[in-house]
């Protein structure tokens, strides 16, 4: 047939090609809409669940357990798809694009969703089993793990229930009765969870006491670890329930108080008046009970602690004075800051020793205290990295002593006299009497110029005379002026030399040596005396000048 196409008229050839194309490439099947596709998936999921239920009736033993578990997963999946479908319908209704048949389907899905929720919750509650009393720690951990998973699934079903009711209300369906039922269920769940959490906390307290009494008992330690994890899981589950109750405007103060006491986490709940009031009253009752039961012994322990601390406070003063005298008599050259630090450390060591002895005498266990201090130190060190960097720089400054108090330095972009030093920062007083506090890290990481570190300093002066003046006479005059000043030292010898032949002057350098305390007074005196003597001797100090030559062009 193809070979005879050439004999066909051209008018018939094009329709024939179109027909062959249609026959060869069938039209792509039209894709269903998302809502229709999701509705189809829901129906298929229902059929799968029916098949599993039929198989479940005939199964026994481990097969029955496996099919039952799979049926629960399928029901959870069905609830998730139903919730997704209702959400999409609500979105289209809000946009005004939903079809009438879809709204009818949504009503049917809503009713089926509520029934599936009830069935799923009942089945999940059957699978929540507590561990046996004599169960080994490993088996107990596995049982608690399965229990936590089921509790988490139940909470998820209640979240789906809450969201389904919201969607049903937006679709105009009657949800008041179902909402009241949900409130009752959540309240019962919160109360039961609260009881379980209280029992778990009592058992944790008992196991902790057992571990303290018998620290080598591995079984008690393992049980304590398992129960502690289980308690955290219970608190998290109750927190989810409380959040759902809050969204329904239900009273949850009692449960929030319990969660705050169990977890120890400071949340925004503590700033609510009823929560804070109940906590404060609870703490007050506990404190009053402790005062009644242990009042006399507590008062005696407090008096004993105060006496011990007072004694060591006096000993700390003695240690401070002895340390100061020892450092003053010592031949070792220490900076003022290092001396102060050593004295402070000696005093604080005595005080801390007295406090620890006092706490031990009244029955406070120092082991957990030291462990807690180590943990707090780690947290503080991580949070104060920059401050610790400055502290380390301060220690290096103490060791290498690049400067001390009352030295004039240039460091960290600041010039002035060191007024005060600490292990974190250095206070510098500028020459115009400003106080600038510079972190030690910035000082140690930069160039440090100690102007007053040496006992003597050289003054660098430059004087210029005119090209027409006598060079030898100028040198003689400058030498006489410098020699006449009482602060100028004989050794090292003053240096006076012709330094430059400038554009407008002949420049001399004059470099006398003086004690560091006489530097600025001598500098200013020499500048003034040199000007007066130059004027008297007729030696000029020229200012910049230029010779300008004018050339007149010839008019010829």
CATH numbers and ranges of domains, the chain: 34-280 (no CATH), 283-383 (no CATH), 402-450 (2.30.30.60), 456-537 (3.30.70.100)
Q: Note the pLDDT tens digit of each residue in 208-235.
A: 888 877 878 888 888 888 888 888 888 8
**Secondary structure (3-state) at 415:** strand
The segment with the largest mean pLDDT, out of 13-17, 54-58, 389-393, 430-434, is: 430-434
Question: Cβ(403)–Cβ(450) under 8 Å?
Answer: yes
Q: Closest Cα partner for 472 from 503, 510, 442, 498?
A: 498
Lowest mean pLDDT among 138-147, 246-255, 268-277: 268-277
CA distance 31 to 92: 19
Q: Tell me what the mean pLDDT of segment 113-125 comes to.
A: 89
The pLDDT of residue 17 is: 42
The pLDDT of residue 514 is: 93
More confident residue, 505 or 547: 505
On the question of pLDDT at 525 being above 90, the answer is yes
Beta bridge partners of 450: 409
The pLDDT of residue 295 is: 60
The pLDDT of residue 228 is: 87
User: In angstroms, how far is the first alpha carbon of the chain from the final one?
Assistant: 111
Lowest mean pLDDT among 120-134, 469-483, 503-517: 120-134
The distance from CA 329 to its chain's CA centroid, rounded to whole angstroms, is 48
Rounded-to-10 torsion of CA 15, 20, 21, 22: 90
Question: Cβ(426)–Cβ(437) under 8 Å?
Answer: yes
Tokens of 478: 């400058």
On the question of pLDDT at 106 being above 50, the answer is yes
On the question of pLDDT at 523 being above 90, the answer is yes
Beta bridge partners of 437: 427
Q: Note the pLDDT tens digit of each residue in 472-489.
A: 999 999 999 999 999 999
Question: Cβ(423)–Cβ(394) under 8 Å?
Answer: yes
Largest CA distance in the chain: 136
Q: Is the pTM of this model over 0.75?
A: no
Q: Tokens 């330095």 label which residue?
A: 409
The distance from CA 506 to its chain's CA centroid, rounded to whole angstroms, is 66
Count of CB atoms situated within 10 Å of the CB of 480: 12
Q: Over the range 161-193, which residues count as b (16 or more CB within 10 Å of their CB) and which as e? A: bbebbbbbebbebebeebbeebeebbbebbeeb
The helix (H) or strand (E) run that includes residue 278 is helix 273-329
Beta bridge partners of 178: none
Looking at the chain, the whole-number percentage of residues with pLDDT higher than 90 is 16
Lowest mean pLDDT among 114-123, 144-153, 170-179, 376-385: 376-385
**C-alpha gyration radius of the chain:** 46
On the question of pLDDT at 449 being above 70, the answer is yes
How are strands ordered across the β-sheet holding 449-450?
Answer: 435-439, 425-429, 414-421, 408-411, 449-450
């Amino acid at each position: 047939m193809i070979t005879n196409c050439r004999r066909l008229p051209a008018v018939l050839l094009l329709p024939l090609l179109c027909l062959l194309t249609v026959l060869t490439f069938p039209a792509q099947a039209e894709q269903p809409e998302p809502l229709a596709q999701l509705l189809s998936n829901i129906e298929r999921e229902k059929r799968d669940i029916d098949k599993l239920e039929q198989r479940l009736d005939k199964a026994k033993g481990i097969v029955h357990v496996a099919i039952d578990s799979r049926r629960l997963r399928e029901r959870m999946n069905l609830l998730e798809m139903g919730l997704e479908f209702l959400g999409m319908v609500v979105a289209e209704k809000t946009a005004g694009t939903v079809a009438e048949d879809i709204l009818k389907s949504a009503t049917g899905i809503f009713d089926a969703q509520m029934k599936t929720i009830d069935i799923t919750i009942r089945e999940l509650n059957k699978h929540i089993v507590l561990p046996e009393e004599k169960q080994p720690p490993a088996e107990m951990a596995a049982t608690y793990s399965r229990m936590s998973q089921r509790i988490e699934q139940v909470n998820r079903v209640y979240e789906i229930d809450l969201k389904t009711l919201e969607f049903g209300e937006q679709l105009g369906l009657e949800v008041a009765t179902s909402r009241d039922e949900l409130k009752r269920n959540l309240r019962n769940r919160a109360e039961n969870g609260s009881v379980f959490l209280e029992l778990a906390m009592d058992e944790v307290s008992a196991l902790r006491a057992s571990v303290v009494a018998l620290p080598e008992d591995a079984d008690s330690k393992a049980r304590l670890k398992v129960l502690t994890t289980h308690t955290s899981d219970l608190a998290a589950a109750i927190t989810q329930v409380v959040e759902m109750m809050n969204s329904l405007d239900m009273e949850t103060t009692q449960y929030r108080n319990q969660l705050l006491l169990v977890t120890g986490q400071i949340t925004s709940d503590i700033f609510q008046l009823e929560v804070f009031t109940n906590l404060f009253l609870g703490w007050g009752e506990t404190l009053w009970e402790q005062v009644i039961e242990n009042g006399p012994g507590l008062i005696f322990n407090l008096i004993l602690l105060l006496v011990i601390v007072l004694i060591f406070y006096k000993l700390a003063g003695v240690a401070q004075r002895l340390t100061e005298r020892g450092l003053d008599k010592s031949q070792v050259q220490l900076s003022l800051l290092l001396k102060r630090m050593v004295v402070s450390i000696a005093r604080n060591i005595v005080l801390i020793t007295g406090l620890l002895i006092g706490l031990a005498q009244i029955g406070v266990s120092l082991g957990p205290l030291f462990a807690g201090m180590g943990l707090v130190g780690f947290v503080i060190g991580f949070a104060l990295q920059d401050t610790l960097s400055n502290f380390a720089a301060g220690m290096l400054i103490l060791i290498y002593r690049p400067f001390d108090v009352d030295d004039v330095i240039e460091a960290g972009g600041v010039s002035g006299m060191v007024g005060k030093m600490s292990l974190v920062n250095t206070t510098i007083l500028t020459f115009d009497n400003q106080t600038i506090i510079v972190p030690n890290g910035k000082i140690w990481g930069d160039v440090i110029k100690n102007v007053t570190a040496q006992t003597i300093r050289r003054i660098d002066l430059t004087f210029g005379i005119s090209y027409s003046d006598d060079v030898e006479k100028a040198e003689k005059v400058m030498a006489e002026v410098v020699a006449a000043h009482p602060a100028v030292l004989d050794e090292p010898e003053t240096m006076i030399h012709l330094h430059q032949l400038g554009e407008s002057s002949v420049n001399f350098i004059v470099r006398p040596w003086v004690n560091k305390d006489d530097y600025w007074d001598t500098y200013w005196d020499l500048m003034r005396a040199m000007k007066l003597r130059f004027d008297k001797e007729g030696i000029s100090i020229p200012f910049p000048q230029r010779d300008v030559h004018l050339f007149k062009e010839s008019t010829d």
